Structure 1
Amino acid sequence: MSGETSLNVLLRSMSPALNPGEYVFASVPEGSDLQRVQVIGSFREREGLTVIIERQEAELLGLACGYVMAWITLNVHSSLEAVGLTAAFATALGEAGISCNVIAGFYHDHLFVGKDDAHKAMTVLRELAANAH
């Protein structure tokens, strides 16, 4: 299944869902034991491995937890080739003053917003979906 590519269909049916918990992006030092940690996502950069994990797990590992986030999943199966979805929700959230970090999975887009902005972000995303043509 390749996923949806029509921007209007994607926006109308994105169906955002707020996942429970508090999440952080953290840089993990070389040689860290992550086998006992539930990593939500990761990306290797020149400077080290960035992981997305629950705040409690980061604290147990002694990792910095400066920006605590909420995790929103867009439940529409968006194609990795779709054009405009990220721009549309990033613009809407930006206009509302909400910072957003995006991870595109094979099936869904995952948005990480400040924990205190989670409900406001959900409102913005639902309005965006409702107003899509």
Structure 2
Amino acid sequence: MTGETDLTVLIAQMRPMLDPEPYVFCTFATKSLVELADYEPIGLFAETEGLTAILPVERARELGLGDAEWFRRITLTVHSSLEAVGLTAAVATALADKGISANVVAAYFHDHVFVPEEHAEAALEALRQLAEVR
């Protein structure tokens, strides 16, 4: 497995980057992965209740879902290993201390933290401060 596993290094080098695009978390009980691909999801997850899709707001609007809560994605640009221990907890704790919810999606190369749009800048600053402490 590739990627960094040392928690101190991960936090010190996470270099959080805020995506300017807002996203919406949606769920679909009857749509297929193929049908949702047309809406350019940045994330899909199959749950018992249906498919969860993370869609750009403009694409969610096409489905009548653009009025749902908007989230912004903060990418931790350090290449973290899927076997790394503690990064999600450290990030979630730093944001929880500021009263900011965090929805973390771990992909192969990076972790992505979705935060409510109105708290995006504060979340970015909290993560930058966390990295500076290391």
Taking structure 2 as the reference length, what is the TM-score of the superposition?
0.93
Separation of aligned partners in 1, 2:19 and 2:52? 21
Count of aligned positions? 132
Separation of aligned partners in 1, 2:68 and 2:60? 11
Q: Which residue of 2 aligns with 1:4?
A: 4
Match of 1:91 among 76, 90, 93: 93
Q: Which residue of 1 aligns with 2:73?
A: 71
- The answer to whether structure 1 residue 107 and structure 2 residue 109 are counterparts is yes
Taking structure 1 as the reference length, what is the TM-score of the superposition?
0.94
Once the two structures are superposed, what CA deviation does each residue of 1:30-65 show, in whole Å capped at 9, x if it has no partner?
Answer: 136324211100110111000001111111112364
Alignment check: 8 A CA contact 1:26 1:65 kept = no
Matches within 5 A, 1:6-45: 6-31=6-31, 33-45=35-47
Q: Which residue of 2 aligns with 1:128?
A: 130
Same amino acid, percent of matched pairs: 50
Q: Which moved more, 1:79-88 or 1:22-31?
A: 22-31
Q: Which moved more, 1:58-67 or 1:110-119?
A: 58-67
Q: Which amino acid aligns with 2:25?
A: F
Structure 1: stretches of 5+ with no match in the other structure: none
Q: Which runs of 4+ in 1 moved over 6 A?
A: none
Question: Offset of 1:28 from its aligned partner?
Answer: 1.9
Alignment check: 8 A CA contact 2:73 2:113 kept = yes
> Secondary structure at the residue paired with 1:34?
helix
Separation of aligned partners in 2, 1:24 and 1:103? 14
Q: Which residue of 1 aligns with 2:118?
A: 116
